[in-house]
Every structure is written in C-alpha cells, then in structure tokens.
C-alpha cells in the first residue's frame, strides 16, 4: 500500500512566473493569489508573475511568494483526489505544509511568513551574517569544527542538514568564512557562499524568533489532519501548541531535512510529492534514498497528471 508525503520547498526555490499557469487556468488557484494580494495589501501576484527577480529574492517577499505558489499548486492537485499520509516542508516550506494539513488558515500563513521574513532580515545588520553550503563533509566532524570556531569567538553552526554530503552552515561572516576555509578538516571538499540576507537557522536569529513568537500567539492553530514532520525534531507532531512552539525554535535551529526524509521512509512513505516552484527537494530526496518515488507538482500539466 502506497504511503504518500507532500513536501514543500523553502527559500531559494522561487522563480519569476511561478504559479502563473495554474492562476490563469484554475479559479481555485487564482483565488489563492488574489487572497495573498488582499491580505498583504499589495500586488504580490504581480511581483511573482512579472518580477523583477531582485525584488522577488528579498526575504520579505520570497517567503509569502513561495507559500502562495505552493498553495496554488496544492489547490490544482486537489482535483486529482490524491491525499497525503504525512506532510513536511523545508524551513519556510513548513508553513505550506501546515496549510496543507489544515493547521493554519492560508491567509494566516501568508501574513505570518511576510512578518517572519521581515524579522529575519532585521535581526542582524547587513553584511554581519553569512551562510555557506559545505559539500562532502562528515556531519559530526563539521559540527565539531563549528563548535571549536564558535568557542574561539566567531559564531558558526549547522543550519540545514540537507542530504548526505550537503550541509549548510550559518553564523557571523567571520565564523562562516573560517569554517569555509577549514572544511577539509571535516572531510569536506569545498564551501559555496549562499546569497542570503542573513544567518538563518543560527542562534543569531533568536531576536527574530522572539518577535515571531508574539505573532504566532495571535493565530489559531488547529490539530493537523495528517501528521507534520517538524524541521526541528524530524519527528511527527500533532499537538497544535507543540507545532506553534517548534515554529519559534525553527527560526534559530537547524533544519533536519535528511533526518525528516529518513523518518518518513521509516514510517513507510514510499512516494514523495514535491509541491511548489522548482525541484530542489526532489534532488535532495533522491540523494537520501534512490528507491523512493519522487513526483514534482510545479506546473499545471504536472498537477493534472497527478502521480
């Protein structure tokens, strides 16, 4: 018996034009974009469809744009009758997953991630924080290297454990630069600096997390219709209050994506459906386990084709 997980991408997956095909073809997907424009009080849909890319890339815009596009594709897929047994999302994608599981109303999610993006951008002055993708390193050795650099005064931490051989580090610009120089000590091949506006998923984001916590308290969280695999724990969570508090922790904690996918497979999931722009998660999932089926829903055509 097939078990299905719906998974949703995070920042970096955005592209000008995403969702336009379902917006133009399906009233239910159009309503998703129209609702975002209404809730946010500006034409997000125009920015998503027309760009410029430089503006779409700003965290404060990227986050609501991706949740909107993912939800629009989710609506397009609903007509196929495919339902998930589990949901998960990568970082920001966790909000799309919570919409899919009925935990958050879509309009609340869009408003929250706009604020989340703002708080994350404002948490650390520009240029003081950085992130880099480390390729080929041993996870435990890289964590130890980060600890020793941090102990010496330049904070750097694991931010995203994406798949075997791909781990993102985050912290002060000096800490990330030193980790990048020393990746070979952890068995790594090289480090690639990421184009981001802050040191996301590091302890430098605790101020942003506190501000977000106050906003999350104002929003209704429902019991999920299917279990959500949380980024912070890589474990299923079904209690609404626990989900809320994990979203606060998620801002300054590592995204355990590899662990989350491995947990889903251990729970019997054999089909992963990535819903939203791009195919980043599909690539990561294939690197974690080549035996599972991976399907991309990132166009009108793929939504109509289903599984």
The residues that are catalytic are 91, 201
- Over its C-alpha atoms, the chain yields an Rg (Å, rounded) of 18
Q: Are strands 271-275 and 156-163 parallel, antiparallel or unpaired?
A: unpaired
- Of 27, 3, 1, residue with least CA distance to 263: 3
C-alpha–C-alpha distance, residues 297 and 125, integer Å: 37
C-alpha–C-alpha distance, residues 166 and 142, integer Å: 11
C-alpha–C-alpha distance, residues 84 and 5, integer Å: 5
C-alpha–C-alpha distance, residues 42 and 86, integer Å: 33
204 φ, ψ (degrees, to nearest 5): -70, -10
C-alpha–C-alpha distance, residues 260 and 3, integer Å: 15
- Of 181, 139, 180, residue with least CA distance to 162: 139
40 φ, ψ (degrees, to nearest 5): -85, -20
Q: Which residues pair with 165 in a beta bridge?
A: none
């Amino acid at each position: 018996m097939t078990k299905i997980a719906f998974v949703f991408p995070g920042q970096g997956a955005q592209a000008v034009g995403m969702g336009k095909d379902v917006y133009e073809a399906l009233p239910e997907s159009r309503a998703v974009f129209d609702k975002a424009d209404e809730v946010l009080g500006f034409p997000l849909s125009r920015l998503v469809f027309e760009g410029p890319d430089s503006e779409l890339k700003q965290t404060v815009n990227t986050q609501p744009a991706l949740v909107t596009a993912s939800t629009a594709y989710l609506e397009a897929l609903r007509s196929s009758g495919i339902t998930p047994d589990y949901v998960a999302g990568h970082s920001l994608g966790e909000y799309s997953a919570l919409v899919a599981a009925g935990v958050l109303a879509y309009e609340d999610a869009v408003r929250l991630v706009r604020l989340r993006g703002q708080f994350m951008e404002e948490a650390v002055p520009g240029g003081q924080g950085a992130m880099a993708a480390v390729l080929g390193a041993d996870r435990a050795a890289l964590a130890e290297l980060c600890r020793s650099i941090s102990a010496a005064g330049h904070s750097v931490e694991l931010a995203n454990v994406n798949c075997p051989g791909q781990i993102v580090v985050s912290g002060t610009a000096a800490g990330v630069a030193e980790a990048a120089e020393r990746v070979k000590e952890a068995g790594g091949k090289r480090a690639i600096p990421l184009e981001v506006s802050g040191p996301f998923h590091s302890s430098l984001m605790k101020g942003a997390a506190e501000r977000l916590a106050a906003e999350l308290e104002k929003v209704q969280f429902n019991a999920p219709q299917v279990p959500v695999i949380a980024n912070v724990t890589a474990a299923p969570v079904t209690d609404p209050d626990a989900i809320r508090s994990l979203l606060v922790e998620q801002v300054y904690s590592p995204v355990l994506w590899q662990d989350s996918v491995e947990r889903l497979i251990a729970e019997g999931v054999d089909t992963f459906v990535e819903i939203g722009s791009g195919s980043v998660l599909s690539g990561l999932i294939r690197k974690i386990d080549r035996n599972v089926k991976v399907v991309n829903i990132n166009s009108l055509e793929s939504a109509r084709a289903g599984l």
